Amino acid sequence: MQRDSKSYQILVVEDNPGDYFLVEEFLREKMTAPRVVRSESFKQAKTTIINEDNRFDIILLDLSLPDKEGEELIREAIFLSAGTPIIILTGFVDENFAVKSLSLGISDYLLKDDLNSTILYKSIIYNLERHKNLLKLKESEQRYFDLFHLSPLPMWVYDLETYAFLNVNQAAIEHYGYSYGEFMQMTILDIRPKEHAISVKEVLKETKKNQARKFRGVFVHQKKDGTLLEVEIISKFLDFQGRKARMVLANDMTEKLNYVKAIETQNEKLKSIAWLQSHVVRAPLARMMGLINLIKTGELSMDEKISFLDHIIASADEVDKVIRNIVNKAQKISFMNKGKPDN
């Protein structure tokens, strides 16, 4: 079998020279040029690890050292390693202790009597890969944490089976008025008007059927003080601590929708003004123009001219009233615009 040519930095904490020599031989049998550093005691290992020039990929730890052993050694070694995988190499045959060691954070527990180059190499490679995957998972969790908790928009995670809140961010707490503790005692139905419960449950059933689908919709929510909100919801399936859940982003559309309604009302008023201009104003204006033309070009008696002038004045008064009406409606529209949102 061809030896692994990758560079490995390995710390072997072993006080027995014979056992150390055997471990080193196993390592060199499978690896081209591993950098192997030996410490004969926990104190020496501590000094070696703290040294900034040392960056170990993995630590091979004997369970019985001159200055420390057993569970105490495991706990202090894990704390000192700062996440570097630790494989125990021991002659101590105790299945219960082996299980406990793994639960404390040890990566693997190997018996010296069963050890050979293949077993040791496979354990090192497996635990290095697992360590990389754990780091990726932590990075993913950190990205989730940043996205979730630093979002300026309300966000929460809810259980797909019970609809209970599993987590909420600070923006949701501030926007809806409930404390974190209160949210954790509630379901997502508790932030909806009671009369909407049945329709909401129907929508939730549909989202459960196709968990992978991103869901988007606008719903009515209710704050702790009873204020109703029109909210755009975007949700996506999430495996949250082993529970099937959905992560939700809530964008309060209340102001925007109210503004849209105001714009629609304004447009109706503008249409009304346009109709007044094209119909109501044109009628008396056309009469005035016709009467003036008759007075100017026709052979009329004085009585007829006076009568026509009276009709012209009446038409002018009619135009004046229409213009005042238009101005009044335009001023109302201008007043409405002063209350529009900045964004």
CA distance 225 to 252: 16
Q: What is the pLDDT of residue 295?
A: 78
Between CA 139 and CA 148, with CA 144 as vertex, the angle to 5 degrees is 150
SS3 336: helix
SS3 219: strand
**One fold for both 9-146 and 151-252?**
no
CA distance 210 to 20: 57
CATH H-level, domain 151-252: superfamily: PAS domain (3.30.450.20)
Assigned fold of 9-146:
Rossmann fold (3.40.50)
CA distance 49 to 57: 11
CATH of domain 256-337: 1.10.287
Q: Tens digit of pLDDT for each residue in 220-254?
A: 999 999 999 989 999 988 888 888 899 999 999 87
Q: What is the pLDDT of residue 166?
A: 94
Q: What is the pLDDT of residue 177?
A: 95
CA distance 110 to 94: 11
Q: What is the pLDDT of residue 138?
A: 76
Q: What is the pLDDT of residue 286?
A: 76
Q: What is the pLDDT of residue 93?
A: 83
The stretches in the chain having pLDDT less than 70 are 1, 52, 141, 211-212, 257-267, 270, 272-282, 298, 326, 329-343
Q: Tens digit of pLDDT for each residue in 99-150?
A: 999 989 999 999 999 999 999 999 999 999 988 888 887 777 677 777 788 8
Domain map (residue ranges) of the chain = 9-146, 151-252, 256-337
Q: Any idea how long the chain is?
A: 343
Reported as type and span, the H/E element at residue 166 is: strand 165-168
Tokens representing 269 are 């008023």
Q: What is the pLDDT of residue 304?
A: 76
* Nearest Cα residue to 171 out of 187, 148, 142: 148
